[in-house]
């Protein structure tokens, strides 16, 4: 076992250490007094009361600590999605401790963790965490990933996953032809990036290709239009990790009309699976190869795969809309985007500066104060 694996035990899927690495989260200190020009991902789902979905970066809860400290008298509700599985005791305990610290520091604010699986929900609730079931893949914008039936399918399969041992690319090595859409973790050093990329490229079997452009020490990311086109060049989408988060690629395949071959996993990527569109196989290359051949032979119409998936997604979205309406205390009239009961953005996230988000809230609070009648004398 090398030094890189010891420093990244989760991404390198190191036995025991990978699970225990979650304890590191206990020692993360909340960011405060961030510079106003800091660019962060987030989204206001409501201004009255303020409901803000804060993505997990910076740890532990994005900008929730910062915003709650900036507006101590505002009854903030923060939503915290999970990007990796918490069905592991060390990770769950660390989050529960951080959640308790948040409640102590910001008694007027509420922080709700959005669980991808029922297992996460049960575990976190047992640890005293304010948690709600909300599989994150329902927040992917289906207009970004659509079937392209006119495009020739050159590959038996495609695997959209970062280059890291946890993704288990080797399980696809006996598939006759396979395309890869990938990237490297931005937190890795240039040396580690070069080493992982070189090792991956040298190990590619005949008939397997990376669709991204490459530099000597990195992978050039593809935008969603290019990813959609890449998926249209394959018959089947692959999901091969043992444990991670809900894996956005799993729903992107299905929305683009690709059936999926997946190994058993924790994290929630199976939530929108259907027996017609998804085949679960054992964790060995021959099973993956046979699974790809079986799903390819089904020759499912892409529109059927997409429609079957959206039926499941729509039902989950309605439950989430009702949850948001409950937090607001009332239902709202749907706008031009009838899918949602709140202003929507892809993955419930848009990138903006802290100053922009604070200006948005300050303007909303000011407007609310002018609309409310003054207190009547007793």
pLDDT value of residue 337 = 87
Q: Is 296 left (phi over 0), alpha (psi -120 to 50) or beta?
A: alpha
The yes-or-no verdict on residue 376 having pLDDT over 70 is: no
Whether pLDDT at 75 is above 90: yes
Q: Counting every residue, how long is the chain? A: 378
In this structure, the number of other CB atoms found within 10 A of the CB of residue 152 comes to 6
Q: Flag whether pLDDT at 259 surpasses 70.
A: yes
User: Residue 332: pLDDT above 90?
Assistant: no
At residue 209, does pLDDT exceed 90?
Answer: yes
122, two tokens: 């049960």
CA distance 10 to 198: 21
Cα distance between residue 178 and residue 175, in whole Å: 7
* Whole-number Cα distances in Å, 70 to 11, 103, 241, 306: 35, 15, 40, 43
Local confidence band at 1 (pLDDT 50, 70, 90 cut-offs)? very low
Which positions ≥6 away from 320 have C-beta within 8 Å?
A: 134, 138
The three-state (H, E, C) secondary structure of 41-52, written as one string: EEEEEEECCEEE
Using CA atoms, how far apart are residues 43 and 184, in angstroms rounded to an integer? 26
Q: pLDDT at residue 289 above 70?
A: yes
When pLDDT is averaged across residues 325-330 and rounded to a whole number, the result is 94
Q: How confident is the model at residue 22 (pLDDT cuts 50, 70, 90)?
A: confident
pLDDT at position 178? 98
Q: Which residues contact 291 (CB under 8 A, 6 or more apart)?
A: 261, 279, 281
- The two most distant CA atoms of the chain are separated, in Å, by 83
- pLDDT of residue 157 exceeding 70, the answer is yes
Written as one string, the DSSP assignment of 314-376 is: HHHHHHHHHHHHHHHTS-----S-TT-SS---GGG-EEEEHHHHHHHHHHHHHHHHHHSPPPP
Tokens of 194: 């070069």
Global pTM?
0.93
Q: Which residues does residue 131 pair with via DSSP β-bridges, in sequence order?
A: 113
**Among 15-24, 173-182, 302-311, which stretch is predicted with the lowest mean pLDDT?**
15-24
For the cut 80, the answer to whether the pLDDT of residue 49 exceeds it is: yes
DSSP 161: -
Q: For the segment 223-245, what is each residue's pLDDT rounded down to a tens digit?
A: 999 999 999 999 999 999 999 99
Determine the average pLDDT of the residues in 318-342.
Answer: 91
Q: Is pLDDT of 154 > 80?
A: yes
Count helices and strands in the chain by DSSP H and E runs: 11, 14
Average pLDDT, the chain: 92
Q: In the sheet that 155-160 helps form, which strands lie side by side, from edge to edge?
A: 208-210, 178-181, 155-160, 234-239, 260-263, 278-281
367 has a pLDDT exceeding 80: yes
User: Residue 188: is its pLDDT beyond 90?
Assistant: no
Question: 378 pLDDT exceeds 70?
Answer: no
């Amino acid at each position: 076992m090398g030094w890189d694996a010891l420093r990244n035990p989760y991404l390198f899927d190191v036995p025991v250490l990978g699970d225990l690495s979650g304890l590191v989260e206990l020692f993360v200190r909340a960011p405060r007094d961030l510079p106003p020009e800091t660019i962060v991902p987030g989204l206001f789902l409501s201004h009255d009361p303020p409901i803000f979905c804060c993505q997990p970066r910076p740890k532990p809860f994005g900008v929730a600590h910062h915003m709650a400290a900036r507006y101590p008298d505002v009854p903030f509700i923060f939503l915290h999605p999970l990007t990796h599985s918490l069905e592991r005791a060390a990770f769950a305990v660390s989050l529960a401790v951080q959640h308790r610290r948040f409640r102590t520091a910001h008694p007027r604010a509420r922080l709700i963790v959005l669980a991808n699986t029922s297992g996460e929900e049960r575990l976190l609730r047992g640890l005293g965490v304010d948690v709600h079931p909300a599989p994150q893949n329902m927040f992917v914008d289906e207009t970004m990933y659509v079937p392209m039936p006119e495009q020739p399918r050159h590959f038996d399969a495609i695997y959209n996953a970062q280059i890291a041992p946890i993704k288990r690319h080797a399980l696809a090595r006996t598939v006759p032809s396979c395309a890869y859409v990938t990237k490297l973790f931005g937190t890795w050093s240039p040396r580690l990036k070069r080493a992982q990329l070189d090792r991956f490229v040298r190990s590619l079997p005949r008939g397997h290709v990376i669709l991204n452009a490459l530099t000597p020490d990195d992978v050039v990311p593809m935008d969603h239009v290019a990813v959609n086109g890449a998926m249209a060049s394959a018959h089947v989408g692959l999901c091969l990790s043992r444990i991670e988060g809900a894996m956005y690629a799993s729903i992107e395949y299905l929305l683009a009309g690709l059936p999926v071959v997946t190994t058993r996993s924790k994290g929630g990527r199976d939530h929108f699976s259907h027996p017609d569109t998804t085949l679960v196989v054992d964790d060995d290359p021959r099973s993956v190869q046979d699974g790809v051949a079986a799903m390819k032979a089904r020759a499912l119409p892409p529109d059927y795969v997409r429609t079957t998936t959206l039926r499941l997604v729509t039902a989950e979205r309605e439950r989430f809309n009702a949850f948001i309406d409950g937090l607001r205390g009332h239902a709202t009239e749907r706008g031009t985007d009838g899918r949602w009961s709140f202003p929507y953005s892809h993955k419930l996230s848009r990138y903006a500066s802290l100053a922009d988000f604070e200006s948005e809230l300050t303007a909303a609070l000011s407007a609310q104060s002018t609309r409310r009648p003054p207190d009547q004398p007793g």
